[in-house]
Amino acid sequence: MSACAEARAASAPLDLADYDHADCLIYGIGNVGRQDDGLGWAFIDWLEEAGLCPSAARQRHYQLQLEDADLLRHQRKVLFVDATRDPSVTDFRVECPRPAMDFSFTSHALSIPALLATCAQCFGYLPEARLLVLRGYAWELKQGLTPRAQKNLGAAQACLAPRSPHPFESKRSQA
Amino acid sequence: MSRKLVIDPVTRIEGHGKVTVQLDENNRVTDARLHVVEFRGFEEFVHGHPFWEAPMLLQRICGICFVSHHLCGAKALDDIIGAGYASGVEMLPTPEKLRRLGHYGQQLQSHTTAYFYLIVPEMLFGMDAPPEKRNVLGLVEANPELVKRVVALRKWGQEVIKTVFGKRMHGIASVPGGVNKRLDARERDRLLKGEPGLLSVDQVIEHALEGVRLFHNFHEKHRREVDSFAKVPALNMSLVDEQGNVDYYHGRIRIVDGNRDTVAEFDYHDYLEHFAEATEEWSYMKFPYLRSLGREAGALRVGPLGRVNVTRSYGDNAPLAQAELERFHDYTGGKANDMILHTNWARAIEILHSAELIRELLEDPDLLEGPLVIEPGEAAWTGEGVGVVEAPRGTLLHHYRADAQGAITFANLVVATTQNNAVMNRTVRSVAEAYLGGRAEITEGMMNAIEVGIRAYDPCLSCATHAMGQMPLQVTVQDAEGRVLDERLR
């Protein structure tokens, strides 16, 4: 099954239209100065250029930090977007991260499961979280995605972009 | 026959390194080395770039103390265009105060990370607790209310940085000769008075005081353990103002000995006359020292412990921190404090000091009005600049040269972790001697102690080698012929 089919067939399929609300957050993780580590931010760039999910809060950051737990507690839904080196990811994959104290903390970064667990533990609240991972290949100090990473980003965009008629527009007109 | 122990990787320290302990035939420690084995040449990376890009590029060395790199580079650029201290030009009040505000905000945020996220769990759970518990996530499970306050404190520090520099990370507000924006009253008031979801500066000071109390509570219960853990004499260095008090943003470099007597004081632009750097084939990190005293006697300690040893006082504008500083100085009878775990006490005091300095600045109308940039004209161009600030981890130096077209031809960075290289190695040796006790075996307790000893410096080995990444711990014990007797990875 293709990544796109999996994303659509998952028990909670990823539909970007669901994130077009003020209480939703789309969080790009990465560093545009390190080649394919910039995939998370590039996805946010694409949303903004395409005018998608304009009502959602958008965040770009290098790593997750503990204070992001405070950010999450105000969100109903959160979509994290991050690059991955995992070779089992062909081009992209949608995951449902679960809260877990995985003790991955350094002063540089926190994992998504640890962040969710921190939010639940400290604030007694857990937003609905999804993770879009995009496969990258190069991580040196250089700007710009590699062609292969760019292709994977394109595959995710093609899968997740709304079909016409534009679903966001149709939802807005219904409202 | 001598023997060697190796520890790799050192957890929760930024960068990549390992520890080797050399033993003689009686298993006595003859040498201990903290190796730094990762290297990326940021200094080479900026060659040929326009000079004004240097602070923006070089702050990307680090995701933690980027403000320090940015401001240090900005001060060097002030010099390059002829608007800096090297040309005898005083920075305008508004840009200097805005830079200071961002700088203190970063110190508060960075120290909060090191202290509450990495060190407080050690104090609450004990140095011997398993690493999977002895961290901030263990703290989240054990004391979520404390973590909520810490999250709020760090968030407030981030907001100060974002307000001044325009971004949470890698902001670009400082420009050659000044800054590109001032605060408006709304921005100032939300930091001063707080808002829903954001602390007021008075609440920040309360939380900072709680941090100092946490150290005192721990110290009272574990005084002997804390005070006897790795006592490492060294010179202490900091920027100071005309009264001899620490100035985190600008001043002269002062170096004091164990009696807190000044052994050297000079304009940082003359650093090449005063410092030399030794190199070792086993580490990418250099070993700076005071040239006049030689490599052993001239080894320097920078950072919180170095600064509180150097400073005479905090002046009248930070009464709570001043009271804590006096208690700190009294504890060693006015002599320099060389107890490595007291670095954490010093760090807690500096969180409080930063918060009080920020409050004073937020009440200063210069943040809201006044010219932002000095424009000295093309004739003032010098093509060379040196910037020094007290970064959270210690004295940080950037030195650039640019050609007539404005392209960078030379860059030299001396970061705090590099300044501390010799004393970190001495700390590792002290801990190894205490924990090995004539055995050639690495115990869990020794692994923990080495980790705690190195982490007291909150070293950023990424910065020190101008690299990016995490530093995991490997310890190896070797004999004189280099044969590995024991080795552990974490």
Categorize the per-residue pLDDT at A73 as very low, low, confident or very high, splitting at 50, 70 and 90.
Answer: very high
CB-count exposure of residue B94 (10 Å: 0-12, 13-18, 19+)? buried
CA distance A127 to chain B (A): 18
Q: In this predicted structure, which of A99-108, A147-156, B382-391 has the lowest mean pLDDT?
A: A99-108
**Beta carbons of B154 and A117 less than 8 Å apart:** no
**Cα A7 to Cα A14: distance, rounded to the nearest angstrom:** 6
CA A34 centroid distance within chain: 18
CA distance B151 to chain A (A): 5
Residue B468 has pLDDT above 80, yes or no: no
CA B10 centroid distance within chain: 18
**Beta carbons of A117 and B118 less than 8 Å apart:** no
**Cα B285 to Cα B463: distance, rounded to the nearest angstrom:** 10
Residue B14 pLDDT: 45
Q: Nearest-CA residue of chain A relative to B56?
A: A33
Q: Give the CA angle between residues A29, A33, A35 to the nearest 5°.
A: 80
Residue B9 pLDDT: 42
Q: What is the mean pLDDT of residues B189-217?
A: 96
**Cα B62 to Cα B470: distance, rounded to the nearest angstrom:** 11
Residue A146 pLDDT: 97
Residue B139 has pLDDT above 80, yes or no: yes
**Cα B305 to Cα B188: distance, rounded to the nearest angstrom:** 31
Nearest to A107 among B64, B138, B158 (CB): B64
Closest CA to A78 of A38, A32, A115: A115
The CATH code of the domain at A3-174 is: 3.40.50.1450
Closest CA to B271 of B287, B298, B289, B284: B289
Nearest to A61 among B140, B154, B168 (CB): B168
Categorize the per-residue pLDDT at A164 as very low, low, confident or very high, splitting at 50, 70 and 90.
Answer: low
Residue A129 pLDDT: 96
Residue A43 has pLDDT above 90, yes or no: yes
In B, which residues are within 8 Å of A70 by CB distance? 151-152, 155, 197
Q: What is the mean pLDDT of residues B452-475?
A: 60
Residue A174 pLDDT: 45
Q: Which residues contact B197 (CB under 8 A, 6 or more apart)?
A: A70, A74
Categorize the per-residue pLDDT at B202 as very low, low, confident or very high, splitting at 50, 70 and 90.
Answer: very high
Nearest to A106 among B12, B132, B147 (CB): B12
Residue B469 has pLDDT above 50, yes or no: no
Residue B13 pLDDT: 43
3 state DSSP class of B425: helix
- Whether the predicted interface score ipTM is above 0.90: no
**Beta carbons of B12 and A70 less than 8 Å apart:** no
Please list the alpha-helical segments (H only) found in B83-143: 93-112, 120-125, 136-142
**Beta carbons of B147 and A118 less than 8 Å apart:** yes
Residue B42 pLDDT: 67
Residue A45 has pLDDT above 80, yes or no: yes
In A, which residues are within 8 Å of B140 by CB distance? 101, 117-118, 121-122
Most confident of A49-63, B36-50, B115-129: A49-63
Q: What is the mean pLDDT of residues A110-119?
A: 90
CB-count exposure of residue A161 (10 Å: 0-12, 13-18, 19+)? middle
DSSP state, B250? S
Residue B140 pLDDT: 84
Categorize the per-residue pLDDT at B321 as very low, low, confident or very high, splitting at 50, 70 and 90.
Answer: very high
Please, what is the angle between helix B319-331 and helix B201-221, to 10°? 20
More confident residue, B443 or B394: B394
**Cα B457 to Cα B17: distance, rounded to the nearest angstrom:** 14
**Beta carbons of B148 and A118 less than 8 Å apart:** no
* pLDDT over 70, % of chain A: 84
Residue B59 pLDDT: 66
Residue A167 has pLDDT above 50, yes or no: no
Residue A9 pLDDT: 63
DSSP state, B365? G
B171-193 per-position pLDDT tens digit: 778 889 999 999 999 999 999 99
Q: In this predicted structure, which of B156-165, B202-211, B289-298, B434-443 has the lowest mean pLDDT?
A: B434-443
**Cα A108 to Cα A112: distance, rounded to the nearest angstrom:** 13
Interface test with A, best of B140, B146, B162, B393 (most A CBs within 10 A): B140
Categorize the per-residue pLDDT at B6 as very low, low, confident or very high, splitting at 50, 70 and 90.
Answer: low
**Beta carbons of B63 and A117 less than 8 Å apart:** no
Residue B463 pLDDT: 43
Categorize the per-residue pLDDT at A170 as very low, low, confident or very high, splitting at 50, 70 and 90.
Answer: very low
Q: What is the mean pLDDT of residues A85-110?
A: 81
Asked whether B255 and B262 are in contact (CB, 8 A), the reply is yes
What are the phi and psi torsion angles at B332 (to 5°)? -110, 25
Residue B113 pLDDT: 85
DSSP state, A11? S
Interface of A with B (CB under 8 A): 33-34, 61-63, 65-67, 69-70, 74, 101, 103, 105-108, 114, 117-118, 121-123, 141
Average per-residue pLDDT for chain B: 87
Residue B208 pLDDT: 97
Longest CA pairwise span in chain B (Å): 70
Asked whether B237 and B253 are in contact (CB, 8 A), the reply is yes
Residues in chain B: 490
Q: Which residues contact B124 (CB under 8 A, 6 or more apart)?
A: B139, B142, B143, B218
More confident residue, B301 or B441: B301
**Beta carbons of B114 and A107 less than 8 Å apart:** yes
Q: In this predicted structure, which of A152-166, B265-279, B379-393 has the lowest mean pLDDT?
A: A152-166
B417-462 per-position pLDDT tens digit: 889 999 999 998 998 888 887 777 888 788 778 878 888 888 765 4
Nearest to B118 among A107, A114, A118 (CB): A107
**Cα B53 to Cα B74: distance, rounded to the nearest angstrom:** 10
Asked whether B475 and B5 are in contact (CB, 8 A), the reply is yes
More confident residue, B209 or B70: B209
Q: Mark residue B191 as left, alpha or beta (left: phi above 0; alpha: psi -120 to 50; beta: remaining).
A: alpha
Hey, where are the domains in chain A? 3-174
- Are β-strands B394-402 and B283-290 bridged in parallel, bridged antiparallel, or unpaired? unpaired
CA distance A109 to chain B (A): 10
Q: Nearest-CA residue of chain A relative to B60?
A: A33
**Beta carbons of B141 and A101 less than 8 Å apart:** yes
Residue B471 pLDDT: 42
- Are β-strands B384-391 and B394-402 bridged in parallel, bridged antiparallel, or unpaired? antiparallel
Residue B449 pLDDT: 84
Residue A101 has pLDDT above 60, yes or no: yes
B224-258 per-position pLDDT tens digit: 989 999 999 999 999 999 999 999 999 999 999 99
Nearest to B137 among A63, A74, A101 (CB): A101
Asked whether A61 and A48 are in contact (CB, 8 A), the reply is no
In B, which residues are within 8 Å of A107 by CB distance? 12, 14, 64, 113-114, 117-118
Question: How far is residue A162 from each of residues A14, A50, A51, measured CA to CA in Å?
Answer: 11, 11, 11
Question: How far is residue B174 from each of residues B71, B97, B100, B412, measured CA to CA in Å?
Answer: 7, 12, 11, 20
**Beta carbons of B60 and A33 less than 8 Å apart:** yes
Categorize the per-residue pLDDT at B405 as very low, low, confident or very high, splitting at 50, 70 and 90.
Answer: very high
Asked whether B307 and B390 are in contact (CB, 8 A), the reply is yes
Average per-residue pLDDT for chain A: 85
Nearest to B158 among A67, A105, A106 (CB): A67
Nearest 10 degrees: CA dihedral of B66, B72, B76, B77?
40
**Beta carbons of B114 and A118 less than 8 Å apart:** no
Longest CA pairwise span in chain A (Å): 47
Q: What is the mean pLDDT of residues B214-230?
A: 92
What is the token pair recorded at B135? Answer: 């961290």
**Cα A34 to Cα B373: distance, rounded to the nearest angstrom:** 32
Nearest to B63 among A63, A67, A122 (CB): A63
Which of 87-126 (B) contact A at CB < 8 A?
A: 113-114, 117-118
